[in-house]
Amino acid sequence: MDALDAYSQVVTGVAARVLPSVAALAVRTPRGAGAGSGVVFTDDGFLLTSAHVVAGADGGTAAFGDGTESRFDVVGADPLADLAVLRVHTPGVPPAVLGDADQLRIGQLVVAVGNPMGLAGSVTAGVVSGLGRSIPARDGRHVRLIDNVIQTDAALNPGNSGGALANSAGEVIGINTAVAGYGLGLAVPVNGPTRYIISELLSSGRVRRAWLGVAGMPVPLPPPVAERTGQRLGLRVVEVVPGSPAGVAGIYLGDVIISAGGSPVESVQTLQRLMLGPAIGARLPITVLRRGAYVDVVAVPAELAAA
């Protein structure tokens, strides 16, 4: 009974802190009406939500648990991260505190707050059941993996997208984005890369991304190379776009990318993390393994064109 009481105290405490900051969103697009959730994260009325909740819309209505209702505008959206920033016309709602999902551990208690199935102010609790998951996101012809996605068994249903996933301290460490299946929910993490994306959306309404022009797959490194580099995997190049920054730099099919910008490259996601705005037009040293030899090249990533 004591354990149950302690659990209840944590969940009710998180709910009390986060619920006032979560809105039920109603949007209308040429394709019809839609709904989701949003989380106020600044004193002046900016909200975070999922990009797919407001896709095709430039505004809508946000309703809060205290009965406050306000129009909102879409400040910016990034479909490749499934994140969007909104702003309500009547600020004054208390903001939630953003935490750091990189500190999460499997088995940790989390609380989901949102508006599933039109049921405003719903709270569910569970644990972090997986970390480091990836889900694909698409923007026109561009596809990107959202990495380090949080997997939880806290119940998520349609309408939860864009709502808060909070830790036991009441900090928002994820934005609920998808229902993967029965008893399985996913959330985009709030961490360093996410904060960069949020700041770009706030300042310019979009996220500039760099483009290298390669596709790859993780492969085990030969034991001598693994011992020398201290990493198990590299990224085998399976496609190079003709005329791309990678092609111009001299990266070829079959090369295994070991490092880029001084950081080990063991997956597509590790390379993706480097492909944000600051990389555009900057020299990017890359080391590849080619027929058993180390080869150093320098690529200059270009800006990823809008879809």
Catalytic residue among 37, 122, 161, 267: 161
CA distance linking residue 77 with residue 86, whole number of Å: 9
* 77 neighbors 84 (Cβ within 8 angstroms): yes
d(CA 259, CA 296): 10
C-alpha to C-alpha distance for 70 and 82, rounded to whole angstroms = 23
**Which is the catalytic residue, given 21, 37, 82, 147?**
82
Q: Contact, 177 vs 50, CB < 8 A?
A: yes
**Size of the chain in residues:** 307
CA distances from 113 to 37, 92, 280 (A): 9, 20, 37
Which of 21, 52, 122, 244 is labelled catalytic?
A: 52
Would you say 211 and 303 are in contact if contact means Cβ atoms under 8 Å apart?
Answer: yes
Residue 52 annotated among the catalytic residues of the structure: yes
Q: 3-state DSSP call for residue 248?
A: helix
Catalytic annotation present for 82: yes
**Alpha carbons 251 and 295: distance in angstroms, whole number:** 9
Strands 97-98 and 171-181: parallel
Burial level of 279, CB count in 10 A (0-12/13-18/19+)? Answer: buried
267 is catalytic: no
H-assigned helices in the chain: 2-18, 192-204, 223-229, 245-249, 268-272
Strands 83-88 and 46-49: antiparallel
CA distance 98 to 163: 13
Phi, psi of 40 (to 5 degrees): -70, 130
SS3 274: coil
Among all residues, which ones are annotated catalytic? 52, 82, 161
